[in-house]
Chain A
């Protein structure tokens, strides 16, 4: 049976939520899965809270209902209070934070800075981490292939490094 998965990505405008959304959607497409996404554009992108939704499977509408997301990626812990309502009680939730909680925490910003990567690459680090956990519809290798295909050459090396560092941070 083909995988069916509803994912939310939550962050602040400018943090790279849209990049992750595209990457996951492109990966689903490359795996010949049906996919539809919803994104935030416009005013809220100026540093406001933004959310993207990715629905893999035979869905028609792009939005996820409350309590239905099986995976949540939070680029900032501040948004947990805003967007947690979309999460299923058993959802796998990955949060960029140094503070532990009822979720899987990774200080992706700290990791980025320690590796000499730009701060914005925390988004790819968190994605690599989530993929390595096995909770996503796709494996890190599929994401790597998509990344190589869609990323402009000048950012590719740093992006690949970030994704791989995130995946490597998951305890084997």
Chain B
């Protein structure tokens, strides 16, 4: 719901409930950002889509793109910024690892148009392979990083962040965390005035092509900029002073840890009784502030997620924090974790609190998911195989015993090559190696890995699980979809062409619903690898069940010949197959079943049948 008004100048304004990611996107639209590039990843995925909708609502033109990966996204934004226009990239924290190469040099050569790098961290982690702290990567790159505590604050930071970026001609990082990205708050918005700037590229080889002879000077310049950024009045630590009840004591916090510390202090009636700082610019921390903290306080507690970035810069002898304790060195600073730390810091009696008694149900592939069928076929065909996996919904193939490794985007293919080399040199009986990767992840980081496997003659089987979308993060288009970020028709690139262009000899395409056909193809591919070498590729193609494909439904039922062996439950794990509490025989949940009919092939006893076999 939107509470909309019109100001006298004809500018529309309003207030609306927004997710943190939508708030950041709205901030980008209002600040006159005219290019936004992203690769989807939890918790950052919603930002780009919200830029598209925000731009439409405001009637401004923004080029929004799902780039093929984060490195590409950042380089596109850099080139755009070279012409003096405002650009933004959005990604999750491990995406910044992929983009770190262009990021680090961007600090040296800078950017004339404002460039905001929105990088969403995931303390916990909830949906990531690490809980790394992007503020540290900002420090490593020598780039300013902002740490918003709430969706509202994240939006408020965007405009001033662009001003900071343009004043120093430096990219600026905006680092929300999961609890900011996926929180919702009512937030004021306004339609931007059009800020069309002409694209002007000023040739300057000493800067844009800076060779080593120029880099020392550029580094010196960067150091000067960072010293100055640290003293920018807008970004100094924000003090909520105490009344003297707790003399020479201070709590310093940043990000959502500040917000939860605020709630705790309020609940304990300690707000305004102790000096309470919010650090909005964790790097570069003003050295004069650090010196002040060291002299003005005897007891200092630092609360930050997830690494001790502020604490290390403070370098005070009496600090309490992540580095010196009692704050744990890892994990999210939830209200419960903070309660123990703050309770001890203020010497309050700690109340015993209930803790979770059990773990919840684990995530699983959807009923009818083509990945499940593919994993079942792989596991059945190669019971002694080694299965390097990758990052996406299909990571859940580990539940099915068909994913043995998960590392980072695209790693499964290269790890398969490494595993092959290991067993080849040992000269033992070689286990079949079957790697799996999703279509979007293959486009992101799988292509160089496959190319490398071809030229190194790495002998393994790659199954590309092609569901036609980036499913895990909310169905963003892939390069094969032929759709832009705004949903308009766009050029597309087909997987088959790419795989062949990588030099792969054996390529086959199959719908994994046809289990016998896929199993036959897997055997053929393995024979081909043994006979002719090189990697073989099978594209297992079936659209994502959540993409509302309207595929026909079979009437599947379990007959009384079910022997309650639970082979289907243990090896197929479809959420629609459930054991009867009385007999142990398997039943089909009519609500969850989508009628894919794959389980008919799975049952060894022939007890699962499809009434309308021919559809």
Q: Which of B264, B266, B360 contacts A48 (CB 8 A)?
A: B360
Chain A 74-113 near chain B by CB (<8 Å), digits 1 or 0: 0000110111110000000000000000000000000000
- Taking the closest CB of chain B, its distance from the CB of A91, in whole angstroms, is 12
Interface-facing stretch out of A31-39, A128-136, A163-171: A31-39
B179 and A61 form a contact (CB under 8 A): yes
Whether A158 is near chain B, meaning CB under 8 Å from some CB there, is: no
- Taking the closest CB of chain A, its distance from the CB of B461, in whole angstroms, is 26
Q: Within the assembled complex, what's the spacing in Å between the Cα atoms of A65 and B366?
A: 32
A48 and B361 form a contact (CB under 8 A): yes
- Taking the closest CB of chain B, its distance from the CB of A56, in whole angstroms, is 11
Q: Within the assembled complex, what's the spacing in Å between the Cα atoms of A64 and B356?
A: 14
Q: Within the assembled complex, what's the spacing in Å between the Cα atoms of A116 and B3?
A: 35
Q: Within the assembled complex, what's the spacing in Å between the Cα atoms of A40 and B356?
A: 17
- Taking the closest CB of chain B, its distance from the CB of A99, in whole angstroms, is 13
A43 neighbours in B (Cβ, 8 Å) = 42, 126-127, 363, 395-396, 472
Q: Within the assembled complex, what's the spacing in Å between the Cα atoms of A44 and B353?
A: 25
Whether B401 is near chain A, meaning CB under 8 Å from some CB there, is: no
- Taking the closest CB of chain A, its distance from the CB of B248, in whole angstroms, is 25
B363 and A13 form a contact (CB under 8 A): yes
A60 neighbours in B (Cβ, 8 Å) = 149-150, 258-260, 262-263
A41 neighbours in B (Cβ, 8 Å) = 42-43, 45, 127, 182
Whether B473 is near chain A, meaning CB under 8 Å from some CB there, is: yes
A78 neighbours in B (Cβ, 8 Å) = 360-361
Q: Which of A40, A46, A146 contacts B365 (CB 8 A)?
A: A46
B-side interface mostly = loop
Whether B139 is near chain A, meaning CB under 8 Å from some CB there, is: no
A47 and B575 form a contact (CB under 8 A): yes
Whether B591 is near chain A, meaning CB under 8 Å from some CB there, is: yes
Q: Which of B43, B259, B353, B393 contacts A67 (CB 8 A)?
A: B353
A-side interface mostly = mixed
B365 neighbours in A (Cβ, 8 Å) = 46
Q: Within the assembled complex, what's the spacing in Å between the Cα atoms of A68 and B268?
A: 13
Residue of A nearest to B264 (CB): A65
Whether B335 is near chain A, meaning CB under 8 Å from some CB there, is: yes
Q: Within the assembled complex, what's the spacing in Å between the Cα atoms of A67 and B395?
A: 34
Which of B126, B360, B366, B395 has the most A CB atoms < 10 Å from its CB?
Answer: B360
A46 and B363 form a contact (CB under 8 A): yes
Chain B 521-539 near chain A by CB (<8 Å), digits 1 or 0: 0000000000000000000
Whether A16 is near chain B, meaning CB under 8 Å from some CB there, is: no
Whether B185 is near chain A, meaning CB under 8 Å from some CB there, is: yes
- Taking the closest CB of chain B, its distance from the CB of A54, in whole angstroms, is 9
Whether A156 is near chain B, meaning CB under 8 Å from some CB there, is: no
Chain A 45-61 near chain B by CB (<8 Å), digits 1 or 0: 11111000000001111
B357 neighbours in A (Cβ, 8 Å) = 81-82, 84-85
B233 neighbours in A (Cβ, 8 Å) = none
Q: Within the assembled complex, what's the spacing in Å between the Cα atoms of A83 and B356?
A: 6
Whether B339 is near chain A, meaning CB under 8 Å from some CB there, is: yes
Whether A17 is near chain B, meaning CB under 8 Å from some CB there, is: no
Whether B77 is near chain A, meaning CB under 8 Å from some CB there, is: no
A29 and B473 form a contact (CB under 8 A): no
A39 neighbours in B (Cβ, 8 Å) = 19, 182-184
A59 and B263 form a contact (CB under 8 A): yes
- Taking the closest CB of chain A, its distance from the CB of B91, in whole angstroms, is 14
Q: Within the assembled complex, what's the spacing in Å between the Cα atoms of A58 and B1?
A: 21
B363 and A47 form a contact (CB under 8 A): yes
Whether A150 is near chain B, meaning CB under 8 Å from some CB there, is: yes
Q: Which of A26, A30, A82, A119 contacts B356 (CB 8 A)?
A: A82
Q: Which of A13, A26, A42, A66 contacts B354 (CB 8 A)?
A: A66
Whether A149 is near chain B, meaning CB under 8 Å from some CB there, is: yes
Q: Which of B43, B183, B359, B361 contacts A36 (CB 8 A)?
A: B183
Whether B53 is near chain A, meaning CB under 8 Å from some CB there, is: no
Whether B427 is near chain A, meaning CB under 8 Å from some CB there, is: no
User: A119 with B43: in contact, given A36-B183, A36-B185, A85-B356 (CB under 8 Å)?
Assistant: no
B256 neighbours in A (Cβ, 8 Å) = 61-62
User: A63 with B42: in contact, given A26-B1, A78-B361, A82-B358 (CB under 8 Å)?
Assistant: no
Chain B 249-276 near chain A by CB (<8 Å), digits 1 or 0: 0000000101110111010000000000
**Interface set of B (CB-CB < 8 Å, partner A):** 1, 15, 17, 19, 42-43, 45, 126-127, 149-151, 179, 182-186, 256, 258-260, 262-264, 266, 334-336, 339, 353-366, 393, 395-396, 472-473, 575, 591
Question: 18 A-B pairs, CB-CB below 8 angstroms?
Answer: A22-B184, A26-B17, A36-B184, A37-B184, A38-B179, A40-B182, A41-B42, A42-B42, A43-B126, A43-B472, A48-B360, A48-B363, A60-B150, A60-B262, A61-B256, A67-B354, A83-B360, A84-B357
Q: Which 3 A-B pairs have the closest CB atoms?
A: A49-B360, A42-B127, A42-B42
**Given A39-B182, A146-B1: 17 more A-B contacts, CB < 8 Å:** A25-B17, A29-B15, A29-B17, A30-B1, A38-B183, A48-B363, A61-B149, A61-B150, A64-B335, A65-B264, A65-B334, A65-B353, A78-B361, A83-B360, A84-B357, A85-B357, A150-B1
